[in-house]
A and B are shown apart, each in its own frame.
Chain A
């Protein structure tokens, strides 16, 4: 009993000592609850016939009708394939590149050059997708600079319709995403790199390890935890990792077989007609799949790398 009281007092004192830090965390917690947890209550409309007038709580229950309808709709299949295809390839190619980039930047000794490269690499992150789409439509047009270069170099006989060929769409969006996010995504790895003790590098250098060996045996193991955590989180984003903006802005009749993703499908068949219940049902399935993927990735990581998110 006394032990219990002591523990409580200790906890109370700890909280009081850290009161300012905890207060600083509080707004974030409040916003998390307001914007992330309370809206979960709205998921019930996936099982209801939502009416604006009746609202979320008063709308009538209709069971799994929307889910059944979703399973019956054959046009959702290409949207699912495109979503997983684009996200999967983005993960495959887009995830390692910021790591490699961070490692390379970390090796640069000339500080001014390093800063310039970093600044330039961060810049695309700040461009709105509407601007990026406009740039792409001009660069990749038949008379755009990309076709001009490829034709003049003799790599193409005639201009290629990048945005009109369904098979080219995945490539266009994945390359664009990598270009846009590499610099920004590398920040977290660069931050992780600073936590590695310079003494390890010095010792390795004395032992005769070259740059590549130091990177392989010191740097990569040093940021392994960060890589694993981000990988697990990215696996969870496979379901919604395909970029809505690019699919919406660059999608057209010629590439629609490869450009429609789950989010544009939801917009077209759900939100566009005010069918919020149907859109929520599709979104709920998306979320469940994403959560399952995170759990699976975490379990696999724990089994193989002995590291996990939770």
Chain B
């Protein structure tokens, strides 16, 4: 009898446990971070509203600062007070949108806002996002005054709607005759302490960098040139940087015969790789750099970098920013362990060859776009939030903090704003002590999560290593890259992100992926070649492997898209 009772109890408990498990699979249930709509909380805003609406957001970008939340810092606090809108950000674990796809495929409601690749047509085509212009007309006409320069011309899609805010401005008049091609914002970071111990040798040329790295090696530094923890999966970053050092073309570029191809075929790219190979053969690059990745060896990298066992690294700006952030030494002061440095230039290359042109559009930042989802229950608050976030005023605030305190405006002779320069506030007491998140919370500035929407005048310069800095009034200011980003309307055949997603048919996307993978997989062999013959063989094999998986077919697609793009650009100009 007792046995029967025990069995009955066990059975009931087991059944209950199972019930809970099954109940957890209910598609209508929600999980933290993916709540379908915002919440309201009591509070007083400057606009007189009593409640603060907290919108939910899915944020897919490597930029994230664990420990910082919207409203933690003085700038975002001001934003909440002024508009009565806050945001609860849920970060993607990587940039391939898997969490978002899971939400969509499981029928979960989307958050109010998305920050994802603007080039993926799926969000618009499948009506997961709302037209911003319609929301603006209905709820927030101020949107039209806050819209960046030429934005409407460029980003209105064929159905007459604008669906996203992104990090661009356009000045199509100024782009006549540009060869085009995004080179990315590249540079070099050096270990400040080691540089000082060497009495600050000149490192504005690649030859100078090599000499300094040799000195570092003599001082016992194991990784005189460190290729960052993105080497295995994002090795194109440092290779592209070296390509820039030699004045090479953009990632994708039109050759003299009109065929558009990747810059691995350009002589400058090869020179850049030969330089890295020379560093390797001189014992300045270690082969195990290529085994580090952010998934498994972050701690390893951190240990090497913070222990003074690495001297300099080349990469694109955002990679280095995250590298510094991961070390817990983010921020803008030169006092940090790794100081951003002007890009060194290769032998026989003039700095003018890599200079960016005035008034070109910027694609600084990334391919992300801000969308408002069709699931939002707060359309008015969402468009208010996005409009103001995208405004120049708030972009400046989120990036630089208060004007006059942390940045100043510089103008060209004609009076047009040319850019901004950070006034280098005194962070010295925090240098090396606060993480980037803590710096954001303390100063409100340097918030790359929110300051992604660089409008025409939010061209920036602070201590970062942007290549081709422009001198204005004796100050170096950062100017934009060399291509108008036409976004989803026409596609931009010069951006990696655009290529991967704008070739929307599965054949094309697989083709692109395979070609790039063949390139990435072979590239380390160029760096690690033991002699000139091995280098040439590795280069030949790399091109051959790319051809085997369909480089020629991809070039045909790229050329077609380039011609479409060129026509679209002319059309926009003529409009």
Q: What total count of A-B pairs have CB within 8 Å?
A: 136
8 Å CB contact of A257 from B509, B520, B521: B521
Q: Which of A19-27, A98-106, A217-225 contacts B (4 or more CB under 8 A)?
A: A19-27
Judge whether A20 and B4 touch: CB under 8 Å: yes
- Set of chain A residues within 8 Å of B501, measured between Cβ atoms: 273
A255 to B287, CA, bound (A): 12
Chain B 81-138 interface residues, beta-carbon cutoff 8 Å to A: 96-98, 101, 104-105, 107, 120, 122, 126-128
Could you give, for residues 1-41 of chain B, a 1 whenever the CB lies within 8 Å of some chain A CB and a 0 otherwise?
00010011011001101100110010000000000000000
A272 to B516, CA, bound (A): 15
- Set of chain B residues within 8 Å of A272, measured between Cβ atoms: 96, 98
8 Å CB contact of A134 from B126, B297, B509: B297
A261 to B22, CA, bound (A): 32
The bracket for how many chain B residues form the interface is: 35 or more
Chain B 489-528 interface residues, beta-carbon cutoff 8 Å to A: 500-501, 506-507, 509-510, 513-514, 517, 520-521, 523-524
How many residues of A are counted as interface, with CB atoms below 8 angstroms from the partner's CB atoms? 51
Considering residues A27, A34, A277, A278, which has the most beta carbons from chain B within 10 angstroms of its beta carbon? A27
- Set of chain B residues within 8 Å of A74, measured between Cβ atoms: 548-549
- Set of chain A residues within 8 Å of B548, measured between Cβ atoms: 74
- Set of chain A residues within 8 Å of B122, measured between Cβ atoms: 52, 274
Could you give, for residues 263-274 of chain A, a 1 whenever the CB lies within 8 Å of some chain B CB and a 0 otherwise?
000001101111
8 Å CB contact of A142 from B97, B288, B296, B524: B288
Q: Which of A178-186, A230-238, A244-252 contacts B (4 or more CB under 8 A)?
A: A244-252
- Set of chain B residues within 8 Å of A142, measured between Cβ atoms: 286-288
Q: Which residue of A lies closest to B517 (CB)?
A: A75
- Set of chain B residues within 8 Å of A55, measured between Cβ atoms: 107
Could you give, for residues 93-126 of chain A, a 1 whenever the CB lies within 8 Å of some chain B CB and a 0 otherwise?
0000000000000000000000000000000000
- Set of chain B residues within 8 Å of A256, measured between Cβ atoms: 517, 521
Chain A nearest CB: distance from B516 CB in Å? 11
8 Å CB contact of A253 from B25, B107, B523: B523
Judge whether B4 and A276 touch: CB under 8 Å: no
- Set of chain A residues within 8 Å of B107, measured between Cβ atoms: 55
Chain A nearest CB: distance from B543 CB in Å? 16
- Set of chain B residues within 8 Å of A23, measured between Cβ atoms: 11, 14-15
Give chain B's interface secondary structure class.
Answer: helix
Q: Is B291 located at the chain interface by the 8 A CB criterion? A: yes
Chain A nearest CB: distance from B422 CB in Å? 36
Chain A nearest CB: distance from B1 CB in Å? 13
Q: Is A73 located at the chain interface by the 8 A CB criterion? A: yes
- Set of chain A residues within 8 Å of B299, measured between Cβ atoms: 134
8 Å CB contact of B524 from A138, A251, A254: A254
Judge whether B296 and A134 touch: CB under 8 Å: yes
Chain B nearest CB: distance from A203 CB in Å? 36
Q: Is B284 located at the chain interface by the 8 A CB criterion? A: no
Q: Is A197 located at the chain interface by the 8 A CB criterion? A: no
Chain A nearest CB: distance from B350 CB in Å? 33
Judge whether A137 and B297 touch: CB under 8 Å: yes
Could you give, for residues 522-537 of chain B, a 1 whenever the CB lies within 8 Å of some chain A CB and a 0 otherwise?
0110000000000000
Could you give, for residues 24-58 of chain A, a 1 whenever the CB lies within 8 Å of some chain B CB and a 0 otherwise?
10110011001000000000000000011101000
Judge whether B296 and A249 touch: CB under 8 Å: yes
Q: Which residue of B lies closest to A134 (CB)?
A: B296
Chain B nearest CB: distance from A163 CB in Å? 4
Chain A nearest CB: distance from B391 CB in Å? 32
Q: Is B49 located at the chain interface by the 8 A CB criterion? A: no
Could you give, for residues 56-77 of chain A, a 1 whenever the CB lies within 8 Å of some chain B CB and a 0 otherwise?
0000000001100100011100
Judge whether A248 and B295 touch: CB under 8 Å: yes
A272 to B102, CA, bound (A): 11
Judge whether B126 and A27 touch: CB under 8 Å: no
Q: Is A214 located at the chain interface by the 8 A CB criterion? A: no
Considering residues A142, A253, A255, A272, which has the most beta carbons from chain B within 10 angstroms of its beta carbon? A253
A-B contact pairs, 15 of them (CB 8 A): A20-B7, A21-B7, A53-B127, A66-B506, A69-B507, A133-B295, A134-B296, A250-B296, A252-B233, A255-B291, A256-B521, A257-B521, A273-B500, A274-B120, A275-B506
Sort A-B residue pairs by CB-CB distance and give the 10 closest, nearest first: A27-B18, A252-B232, A53-B126, A133-B296, A163-B291, A52-B104, A20-B7, A23-B11, A249-B296, A272-B96
B interface residue numbers (CB < 8 A to A): 4, 7-8, 10-11, 14-15, 17-18, 21-22, 25, 96-98, 101, 104-105, 107, 120, 122, 126-128, 222, 231-233, 235, 286-288, 290-293, 295-297, 299-300, 500-501, 506-507, 509-510, 513-514, 517, 520-521, 523-524, 548-549
A interface residue numbers (CB < 8 A to B): 20-21, 23-24, 26-27, 30-31, 34, 51-53, 55, 65-66, 69, 73-75, 130, 133-134, 136-138, 141-143, 161, 163-164, 248-257, 268-269, 271-278
